Amino acid sequence: MPSYIKAISAQQRLDSRGNPTVQVVLESDKGTFRSLVPSGASTGAHEAVELRDGDKSVYGGKGVTKAVGNVNNVIGPALIEKKFDLAKDLGKIDQFMRDLDGTPNKAKLGANAILGVSMAASRAGAAAQGVPLYEFLRKEAGVDANAPYVLPVPFFNVLNGGVHSGNTMAFQEIMLAPTGATSFAEALQFGAEAYHTLKTVISQKFGGPATGIGDEGGFAPPITKPEEAFDLLGEAVSQAGRTGKFQYAMDPASSEFFDSAKGTYDTGFKDKSPNVHSSQQMQNLYKSLVAKYPIALLEDPFAEDDWASWTAFTAATVGADTTIGGRPPPELVGDDLLVTNVERVKEAAEKKACNSMLLKINQIGTITEAIAAANLAFSYGWSVFVSHRSGETTDDFVADITVALNTGHLKSGAPARGERIAKYNRLMDIEDELKAAGKKSIYAGEHFSHPVKTVKQV
């Protein structure tokens, strides 16, 4: 029996920063399915368009009533009329919305409107098949049914800088990854314990007021240099008694401090005391950090259109048969560079610019396109790193897509704040559920980049 859309509506709701976002409610014969759309702050220039009202007198121009109206008046009625079968037509539903929009970047209807429907339709599709969302998405992605299920390493963003906090640290995210845990639940435990220890370390060093947090739940102490950040992590991990159980990661989100006219990076941008670096100086800085600390992943070290720097750094690190500080070079993840877009992924592969794709569902605006970008990245032998946005909601969709695609790692902020924890809690539910069903599942651990291939080789 096909399962049809009976009704679709959208509403304006708030995200974790108190800004408006789109909620979609979709009804089918199987029930009511909801979604809430996330929103970035360090948004890539090549992302699909998030439609905002622009009326400065209401929510500072950030209202989404136009996007909401597009779901209620345009997308909803047109989709209902098409009688798509939710059990098998997600690809057709997404393509239909793209055609209805008609622009290359979803500027007419809004990626926030389209994505909300795509997410809710995925949930309705899973219900139509009578399977969990991760199972539905796994089939959509064409993942080998015999592959084990992979629970990801959570990359906890425990120190927030850049445009996500008010301190003077230029680099946006400093992350702790419990690669030495043996299950997802244990990874959460290690992460939460280290997070609390980090709070004590910060409090002892800088005083209680320095333990305030940024947009993604990480602390934002008065530090400036990345070395200060990694030294704090080292102390926290050691005091928590987990030396060797964690690796580190960073996302400088460097498009935020790139001067495209000069080709330089200003790490003093936050307090307007210029500290300008050439591309070569940035490359040297990253190499020295990677040599000194166990950094396993480096995201957006260079700006979204600074292709030459990406290519040069890739050639010198992951592209060379080399170790840095006695360890393999860190995974090089393209976020603003790739924007979950197959065209950008293709270009990056041609230019040998990175070896990993960040997956953010709202950068591209439909679930099928996000899956297609991930599959293309995998086809190049790259890894895929799933991500929340800095403006989030309690919607936990990205937890399911992470398991569906066996990506082996995701980032959803610190182990704190409801909108971050929603994803981590959902992953613990999935881990329990798979165990109870007797399905083969593994925690990605040290093999977070290519967990399944590694397992098959064993």
- Least Å distance, CB 442 to Zn ion, is 27
Contacting range for Zn ion; rule: CB under 5 A; set: 73-81, 244-252, 372-380, 408-416: 244-252
* DSSP one-letter string for 380-423: TT-EEEEE--SB--S--HHHHHHHHTT-SEEE--SS-SHHHHHH
Instruction: Report the residue from 15, 135, 193, 335 that binds ligand PGA according to the rule CB under 6 A.
Output: 335
- Least Å distance, CB 390 to ligand PGA, is 3
- Does position 390 interact with ligand PGA (CB under 6 A)? The reply is yes
- Does position 365 interact with ligand PGA (CB under 6 A)? The reply is no
Of 335 and 400, nearer to ligand PGA (C-beta) is 335
295-330 in b/e form (b: 16+ CB < 10 A) is bbbbbbbbbbebeebbbbbbeebbbeeeebeeeebb
**Choice among 216, 299, 331, 431 that is catalytic:** 216
Q: Is 60 left (phi over 0), alpha (psi -120 to 50) or beta?
A: left
Q: Are 367 and 119 in contact (CB under 8 A)?
A: yes
Residue 40 is inside which H or E element, if any?
A: none
Of 300 and 306, nearer to Zn ion (C-beta) is 300
- Least Å distance, CB 368 to ligand PGA, is 22
Closest CA to 205 of 190, 188, 191, 222: 222
Instruction: Report the residue from 3, 160, 387, 393 that binds ligand PGA according to the rule CB under 6 A.
Output: 387
Q: Which regions of 205-277 does DSSP assign to beta strands (E)?
A: 247-251, 258-259, 264-266, 276-277
Instruction: Report the residue from 15, 135, 215, 251 that binds Zn ion according to the rule CB under 5 A.
Output: 251
- Does position 16 interact with ligand PGA (CB under 6 A)? The reply is no
Please state the separation of Cα 388 from the chain's center in Å: 4
Site string for Zn ion, 329-368 (x = CB under 5 A): ------x---------------------------------
Q: Are 350 and 378 in contact (CB under 8 A)?
A: no
- Least Å distance, CB 99 to ligand PGA, is 28
- Least Å distance, CB 299 to ligand PGA, is 6
Instruction: Report the residue from 3, 21, 43, 70 that binds ligand PGA according to the rule CB under 6 A.
Output: 43
Q: Would you say the C-alpha torsion 317, 319, 321, 327 has a positive or negative sign? A: positive
The pair of structure tokens assigned to 144 is 């080998």
Site string for Zn ion, 137-176 (x = CB under 5 A): ----------------------------------------
Q: Is 83 a known active-site residue?
A: no
Q: Is 351 a known active-site residue?
A: no
Per DSSP, 446 falls in state G
Q: Where are the alpha helices (DSSP H) in 207-324?
A: 226-239, 279-292, 307-316
Instruction: Report the residue from 140, 251, 306, 395 that binds ligand PGA according to the rule CB under 6 A.
Output: 251
Number of residues that bind ligand PGA (CB under 6 A): 11
Q: Are 24 and 7 in contact (CB under 8 A)?
A: no
43 binds, among Zn ion, ligand PGA, none (CB under 5 to 8 A by kind): ligand PGA
- Least Å distance, CB 420 to ligand PGA, is 12
Of 42 and 168, nearer to ligand PGA (C-beta) is 42
Distance CA 423, CA 428 (A): 9
State the Cα angle at 213 between 339 and 166, rounded to 5°. Answer: 75
Of 110 and 132, nearer to ligand PGA (C-beta) is 110
CA atoms within 13 A on the CB side of 103: 13
- Least Å distance, CB 284 to Zn ion, is 22
3-state SS assignment for residue 10: strand
Distance CA 399, CA 74 (A): 30
The pair of structure tokens assigned to 156 is 């906890």
Query: What distances in angstroms separate CA 405 from CA 58, 169, 371, one per listed residue?
Result: 39, 33, 8
Nearest residue to the partner ligand PGA, using Cβ: 40
**Choice among 360, 392, 411, 431 that is catalytic:** 360
Contacting range for ligand PGA; rule: CB under 6 A; set: 18-26, 41-49, 86-94, 113-121: 41-49
Of 121 and 386, nearer to ligand PGA (C-beta) is 386
41 binds, among Zn ion, ligand PGA, none (CB under 5 to 8 A by kind): ligand PGA
40 binds, among ligand PGA, Zn ion, none (CB under 5 to 8 A by kind): ligand PGA
- Least Å distance, CB 190 to ligand PGA, is 22
- Binding residues for ligand PGA (CB under 6 A): 40-43, 172, 251, 253, 335, 387, 389-390
